[in-house]
Amino acid sequence: MPDVVVFAESTEHVSEICKVCYEKDIPIIPHGTGTGLEAGISALYGGVCIDLQKMDEILDYHPEDFDVCVRPGVTREGLNHYLKDDGLWFPVDPGANASICGMCATGASGTNAVRYGTIKENCLNLEVVLADGRILNTGGKNKRPKKSAAGYNLTNIMVGSEGTLGIITKATVKLHAQPEAIAAAVVNFPDIQSAVDTVLTTLQCAMPMARLELLDQIAVKACNAYSNLTLEERPTLFLEFHSTQSGLEYQTSTVNEISKDFGGSDFDFAIQQEDRNKLWTARHKLYYAGLSMRAGCRAITTDACVPISKLPEMLIKTREDIDKAGLTAPLFGHVGDGNFHSLLLFDPTIPEEFEACKMVSTQMGKRAMSLGGTCTGEHGIGTGKRLLLEEMVGTTGIEVMWSIKNALDPKGIMNPGKVLQALT
């Protein structure tokens, strides 16, 4: 827990807090909605938590240019509610109702990334309060071009920095047109390899898929029990198509034929909005569905990302590690970009189970890197993957990151203990 929580109400308020903390060498922990998964808001050294949820204004909205500027208290669902009557939406969907600025801070993505990109591709400019209270506009004050070749890419340095370089107090993001027609479908396969082969072929055929989600048989079992579904308990793809009405018919029939070539079942379609909502709500509730598989358990929630062609090997080997450790854990993820997640369940009264979960989580990260991937595709580093980050980018990479950190936060007060392990 932090020593103090301050509910900031403006950028200037945040700046003044940072000036005091900088003068007194007091740690600062930014807080958005608290939905991050890598302990990003834990106060490892006490200090001041700056809660930004009261700063919830939607500022410069330019529907004709497909962009909007938001404060850190604006959530994904809140923004989309604001936009819906104009036929626009913000598609980056990490599952939780996260704040937009928090999503920038953690480098979030989610189920729509295969079509619309991650938060990095959808972020145009950021206002950031630095450790000493200075206010930085990463792309220039009030600038919102779709592209820029002007100097260092300060925006992308801040995206994914997890509050260790500054506090994001404003984000200008891209918007997208709502699709004319939407259809969702579920299809199951005899094995994971067949499901991934279907995805690879679909992408090679240039199908503009909106969502491509893979659930293994354990995840499907959890989904059925928790969300009252009746899916066959085999590796399953959740698909979503965004297009015109005529385009929708072509896309769904083409992907249906591709899936059958790899042993897929007939498509189970969800055309009506309430049916699609039920399907995707079940997918987003997989965390709670997983927890319900063992009464009183908790979970280590982790992710990794590999080239899509390596995903079957990655999932099969991870399942072997889980079974060998005697653990219960559903596997699922965004197969369209090679990102997958695991809920490693443990009984909090049995320390050995917790250690086994940590071991499997570490093995996941190491194996992903050995296959040409990353130890985290979207959750971030936080406190749990600092050593894996060092292994991934090497000593030189870590030294460069520390150089950036020390330049912007020379006293080390910005979210200390996160992302970077102290140099030895």
Do the Cβ atoms of 6 and 17 come closer than 8 Å?
yes
Alpha-carbon torsion 190, 192, 196, 197, what sign?
negative
pLDDT of 424 strictly over 70 = no
Do the Cβ atoms of 202 and 212 come closer than 8 Å?
yes
pLDDT in tens, 99-150: 999 999 999 999 999 999 999 999 999 999 999 999 999 999 999 999 999 9
One-letter-per-residue 3-state SS of 213-254: EEECHHHHHHHHHHHCCCCCCCCEEEEEEEECHHHHHHHHHH
Tell how many helices (H) and how many strands (E) occur in the chain. Answer: 14, 17
Is 181-278 in the same CATH topology as 4-177?
A: no
Of 299, 296, 289, 293, the closest CA to residue 342 belongs to 299
Q: How far apart are CA 139 and CA 153, in angstroms?
A: 8
| 231 phi-psi bin (left φ>0, alpha ψ -120 to 50, beta other) | beta
Do the Cβ atoms of 149 and 82 come closer than 8 Å?
no
What is the DSSP-derived secondary structure letter of residue 186?
E
Of 403, 405, 399, the closest CA to residue 418 belongs to 405
Share of the chain above pLDDT 90, in %: 93
Determine whether 272 is exposed, middle or buried from the number of CB atoms within 10 Å of its CB (0-12, 13-18, 19+). exposed
Amino acid at 335: V
Q: How far apart are CA 360 and CA 330, in angstroms?
A: 13
pLDDT of residue 284: 86
pLDDT in tens, 163-181: 999 999 999 999 999 999 9
Q: Are strands 48-51 and 28-31 parallel, antiparallel or unpaired?
A: parallel
As its CATH architecture, domain 294-370 has: 2-Layer Sandwich (3.30)
pLDDT of 158 strictly over 90 = yes
pLDDT of residue 148: 94
3-state SS assignment for residue 39: coil
User: What kind and span of H or E run contains 392?
Assistant: helix 386-408
| 343 phi-psi bin (left φ>0, alpha ψ -120 to 50, beta other) | beta
Angle separating helix axes 351-370 and 386-408, nearest 10 degrees? 80
Q: Among 3.40.50.1220, 3.40.50.1110, 3.30.70.2190, 3.30.70.1400, what is the CATH number of 181-278?
A: 3.30.70.2190
pLDDT in tens, 79-95: 999 999 999 999 999 98
> 377 falls in which pLDDT band (50, 70, 90)?
very high
Tokens of 222: 């959890």
pLDDT in tens, 304-351: 999 999 999 999 999 999 999 999 999 999 999 999 999 999 999 999
pLDDT of 294 strictly over 80 = yes
pLDDT of residue 320: 96
pLDDT of residue 423: 60
Q: How far apart are CA 361 and CA 359, in angstroms?
A: 5
Average pLDDT, the chain: 95
pLDDT of residue 365: 97
Please give the C-alpha separations between residue 401 and each of 63, 155, 165, in angstroms, as whole numbers.
37, 15, 10
Average pLDDT rounded to a whole number, residues 390-415: 96
Share of the chain above pLDDT 70, in %: 99
Do the Cβ atoms of 236 and 215 come closer than 8 Å?
yes
3-state SS assignment for residue 14: helix
Do the Cβ atoms of 209 and 202 come closer than 8 Å?
yes
pLDDT of residue 270: 84
pLDDT in tens, 23-79: 999 999 999 999 998 999 999 999 999 999 999 999 999 999 999 999 999 999 999
Angle separating helix axes 217-227 and 273-284, nearest 10 degrees? 120
Helix, strand, coil in percent for the chain, rounding step 5: 40, 20, 40
pLDDT of 422 strictly over 80 = no
User: What kind and span of H or E run contains 246?
Assistant: helix 245-261
Do the Cβ atoms of 98 and 76 come closer than 8 Å?
yes
- Give, in words, the CATH class of 4-177: alpha beta
Q: How far apart are CA 335 and CA 337, in angstroms?
A: 5
Stronger pLDDT, 279 or 47, i.e. the higher one: 47
Contacts of 364 by beta carbon, 8 Å cutoff, 6+ apart = 302, 304, 318, 321, 342, 375
3-state SS assignment for residue 255: helix
Domain ranges of the chain: 4-177, 181-278, 294-370
